[in-house]
Structure 1
């Protein structure tokens, strides 16, 4: 019976370690959270067609060290650079008026993507508590590279 309890406990610990993930939120949620507790925003700017973006999700954003660091130090936002989310930031409204819901592959760029001057995908952007872009990291990063950069 003791062995069963030990094995069950180990299985639960293993599952909880694997289940840890970044607490992603919308940009609007992150701005609201910043007003309550000041922390910078870590924004993953991606597109649906971007292979390196998918690799970031699969390899880097699932790394326990990256997950822990981002969750503790940032409000994490996933932002589709070609999506339709309405963004209100610094008194301006940003949309994607040219988005084509029937288009396959690449689509129109969201106005907020242009405002942030995103140079390519994936891009990871750190926005401080005052709304200033402090850092832009472009391209795929391994867990070790990302932890060293943020």
Structure 2
């Protein structure tokens, strides 16, 4: 009979460990799948078409190939699971090479590379002539400018800006009021 008493705690311990192992495996799998998720980058022309059928805000990463801070945002900020999930759910995401040579046509106007600026005409327009890289540009659901945000942003700060516009806080609060919460 004493053997049964010792077996009961052992059985309970085995059940607890089995449950923990199963939970840990599931949690790890979810985390791993989120870490592997990527932002669904599309062209600005595609975003302009999609917005007509399913309105969403647009976030545009204006970058250059030589920009170190742009590369850092690609590796850290744009791979953060919370940033990826929020963008893919709430925005159309666009990457725009500010020095790209390919013409871009939007609303009947063709934007081209401008040698005098050493930049693409669309990048100059979106950045309002303030050529700083990286710059993230936010557009509303009607493709109207909300604001360009120049400079490198870490994932936490970037997510905060995304939700400020994505959840429409910009309509009722200043950025200062929003960040005080």
Bin of the TM-score, shorter chain as denominator length: 0.7 to 0.9
The structure with the larger Rg is 2
Q: Distance in 2 between matches of 1:61 and 1:142?
A: 9
**Cα drift, residue 90 of structure 1:** 3.4
Partner of 1:111: 121
- SS of match in other structure, 1:22: coil
Displaced runs of 4+ in structure 1, greater than 3 A? 6-15
**Cα drift, residue 9 of structure 1:** 6.6
**Cα drift, residue 19 of structure 1:** 1.4
TM-score, normalised relative to structure 1: 0.82
TM-score, normalised relative to structure 2: 0.69
Partner of 1:35: 52
Q: Which runs of 5+ in 2 are unaligned?
A: 1-17, 163-181
Q: Is 1:70 the counterpart of 2:76 in the alignment?
A: no
CA RMSD, 1 decimal: 2.4
Higher share in helix: 2
Q: Is 1:93 the counterpart of 2:110 in the alignment?
A: yes
Question: Which has the bigger relative contact order, CA under 8 A and spacing at least 6?
Answer: 1
Cα deviation, 1:7-28, whole Å, max 9, x if unaligned, reads: 9877754542221010000111
Q: Which runs of 5+ in 1 are unaligned?
A: 100-106
Change (3 A) 1:125 1:118: farther
